[in-house]
Structure 1
Amino acid sequence: MELLIIMAIALGALWLMSSRTRKQQRAAQEFRNNLEPGDEVMTASGLLGTVVDVEDDVITLESSPGAHTRWIRAAIAKKIEPPVDEIDDADESEYEDELEDEDDVVDDADRISHANDDVIDVPDDLSSMPPVRKDGEPDSK
């Protein structure tokens, strides 16, 4: 009796996992079947490009202007949504408040010049790091 219960639970778990996998495969196939020129996509190998042409099972992608490559439909992993430029209203109002005190007008040049104000300088090697003592603590000479 106990063996039957264990087998039933195992079969149920296998069925649930396989149904989830089938559902994901169907969704991926539907996505690939609905590709149209102009869609931004990423291949399974990580190449980003724009769909230029769709012919049966061959998708032509443009990765840079004039560079066309042909891919099989199954190699397309996902659609990339174009980035949307959103401005955080809280950050912008805080920045504008600072400039209002100076009676300046905020323009793109001001924003660009202040973009790197909070940049942290990180060394690209360990030569500037203090040596480590044998007990694992940094040496504080």
Structure 2
Amino acid sequence: MDPTIIIFLALMIGMMWFVTSRGKKQAAAQRDMLAKTVVPGASVMTIGGFFGRVVDIDGDVVTLESPSGVETIWLKSAIKEVKEPPFAVVDEDEGVTGASAVVPDDASSLDPGAGTGTQFRPGGPEVDGSGRLTRDDESGEPGATPRA
């Protein structure tokens, strides 16, 4: 066997060992840092995207409190990072930043047939402006005459 091939193989094996051991060391350091920062009172985000405040830690179990005050139990390994929830910035004069749509408090101002030329009667078939049936209730097919 040629000595250059043996040297090349030894270098490749050494590089693979170096890269994998370095990655493991970095992951272990990151886990240790997370374990030090996850303390009662800290805001955290889980791997599922749930934001909560740490209430209690008991071994591998962490109790998180949601912004609404509900407490849930999580595995410590489910905590991704210590992070504040991304709430919208509220300006007292303008309200929530970026919010421009006006939403009514109730549905009384909503008209389901507005702009479509159709009328909707709860419990009855759909009828166009001239009183003709636009869709048969059972089959979904257009009908020739309205039903009574």
Q: TM-score range by the shorter chain?
A: 0.5 to 0.7
- 3-state secondary structure, aligned to 1:46: coil
**Greater helix content:** 1
Q: Of residues 27, 30, 33 in structure 2, which corresponds to 1:28? A: 30
Q: Using the alignment, how far apart are the partners of 1:69 and 1:49 within structure 2?
A: 9
1:36–1:116 CA distance, 2 compared to 1 (3 A): closer
Q: In terms of Rg, which structure is larger?
A: 2
- 3-state secondary structure, aligned to 1:64: coil
C-alpha RMSD over aligned residues: 3.2
Q: When the two structures are superposed, what TM-score results if normalisation uses the length of structure 2?
A: 0.51
Q: Using the alignment, how far apart are the partners of 1:19 and 1:74 within structure 2?
A: 22
Aligned to 2:80: 77
User: % of aligned pairs identical?
Assistant: 37
Deviates more, 1:28-37 or 1:46-55: 28-37
1:64 paired with 2:60, answer no
1:4–1:18 CA distance, 2 compared to 1 (3 A): same
Give the gaps of 5 or more residues in structure 1: 84-106, 118-141
| 1:88-99 alignment runs, 5 A limit | none
Aligned to 1:7: 9
Q: Using the alignment, how far apart are the partners of 1:23 and 1:5 within structure 2?
A: 27
Give 1:82 deviation, angstroms. Answer: 6.9
Aligned to 2:40: 37
- Per-residue Cα deviation, 1:63-109 (whole angstroms, up to 9, x for no partner): 222211111111111111577xxxxxxxxxxxxxxxxxxxxxxx953
1:116–1:73 CA distance, 2 compared to 1 (3 A): closer
Give the gaps of 5 or more residues in structure 2: 101-148
Query: How many residues were matched structurally?
Result: 96
1:19 paired with 2:21, answer yes
Q: Of residues 50, 53, 62 in structure 2, which corresponds to 1:50? A: 53
Q: When the two structures are superposed, what TM-score results if normalisation uses the length of structure 1?
A: 0.53
Q: Using the alignment, how far apart are the partners of 1:108 and 1:63 within structure 2?
A: 25
Q: Using the alignment, how far apart are the partners of 2:11 and 2:60 within structure 1?
A: 40
Give 1:116 deviation, angstroms. Answer: 7.7
